[in-house]
Amino acid sequence: MNNVLLLARLSLSEALRKKLIVVLLVLTAAFLGFYLYGVFRLEQNLAERAADAGLSSGPRRGLGAFPVVYAGVFGMYLVYFLGSLMAVLSTVASVSGDIESGVMQSVIARPVTRAQVVLGRWLGFMGVNVLYVLLVSAALIAGLYLITGYLPPNPVAATAQILLGIVLITSLTVLGSTLFATLANGIAVFVLYGLGSAGGILKAIGSFANSPTMETLGNAANIIMPTNALWLGASYNLQTEGVLAIARRVGNGANPLTSANPIEPGVVIWAAIYAAIAVALAMWRFSRRDL
């Protein structure tokens, strides 16, 4: 266990030293500033319109809360996308990169098993990715609250489901790193991520157009890659009851980026099991791979 924790710490230090991560952090700070400035201007415009109509400029209620709610939802959607990008880019060479550079031969010559190497790498990079998304999510939600006075109904549950998606992407990237070269691994994981997003769109179209075939295809894609299903579950926890009621009346397919229904527990369980299976397969595969 000490070997695993040591490798996790080394992986954490390695991820933080990468210039790619530094660039992504700088761009993330720019994104937060840009997005929250937009929210600030939105709040000013809403306050001006409320004053012109002789209404209170306090926290929004009912229909008046819609712009702020959607600003928060789509802000968190972008956080999820950035977190997914971070998870792939930081982890894509977790094993294959060391093999290609020759570093792995010196690592496994020490009293550490190959399975411990994979587990330690996964723990380290997962810690970086989870911490990144947690901090950006907290910054965006806090900024939204300070500017508008609006706090999503259940930000903890929403963030937890987003973090599960990040853990799954990290696990699959580590698995791919034991199977493919670095570039091929990155492409494969991004294709899977795209498949999950396409599945959500297909399911939404099928629901809106009453097409069982489209819904079936969407469900199949969500099973293969449940990252989009986790986001839809998170989006439910970010919307007020008034927004959800209108979304249900219009139809779930009207907006494929949000959901008016809570996530099914089976999806959460499957995503957690999927991530565990990916890590276990990575440990097994690397233990039997020729270097």
Report pLDDT for 7. Answer: 61
Distance set, CA 178 to CA 44, 126, 167, 288, 289 (Å) = 51, 16, 17, 10, 8
- Dihedral in degrees, nearest 10, Cα atoms 221, 224, 225, 231: 60
Q: pLDDT above 90 covers what percent of the chain?
A: 35
Distance (Å, whole) CA 133 – CA 116: 26
What is the helix (H) or strand (E) element at residue 284, kind and residue range? helix 265-287
Is the overall model pTM greater than 0.85, yes or no?
Answer: yes
Query: Which residues, 6 or more positions from 71, have their beta carbon under 8 angstroms from its beta carbon?
Result: 38, 39, 42, 144, 148
Percent of the chain residues topping a pLDDT of 70: 80
Q: Is the pLDDT of residue 261 over 70?
A: yes
- CA dihedral angle for residue 201, residue 204, residue 206, residue 209, rounded to 10 degrees: -120
Residue from 7, 26, 24, 226 nearest 125 by CA:
7
pLDDT tens-place string over residues 152-204: 999 999 999 999 999 999 999 999 998 888 889 989 999 999 998 888 888 87
Q: Say if residue 56's pLDDT is above 80.
A: no
Worst-scoring range by mean pLDDT, 132-136, 196-200, 253-257, 276-280?
253-257
User: Residue 125: what pLDDT?
Assistant: 87
Nearest residue to 215 (alpha-carbon basis) of 203, 200, 225, 232: 203
Tokens of 260: 């008016």
Gyration radius (Cα) of the chain, Å: 21
Q: Name the average pLDDT for the chain.
A: 83
The pLDDT of 276-281, averaged and rounded, is: 95
For residue 51, give the H/E element and its range: helix 19-52
Residue 61 pLDDT more than 60? no
The answer to whether the beta carbons of residues 100 and 182 sit under 8 Å apart is: yes
Give pLDDT, residue 110. 62
**Both tokens assigned to 15:** 């991820």
pLDDT at 58: 52
User: What's the mean pLDDT in 274-285?
Assistant: 94
Mean pLDDT (whole number) for 14-27: 70
pLDDT digit string, tens, across residues 66-92: 788 888 999 999 999 999 998 998 888
Confirm if 227 and 84 have CB atoms less than 8 A apart.
Answer: yes
Q: What is the pLDDT of residue 44?
A: 81
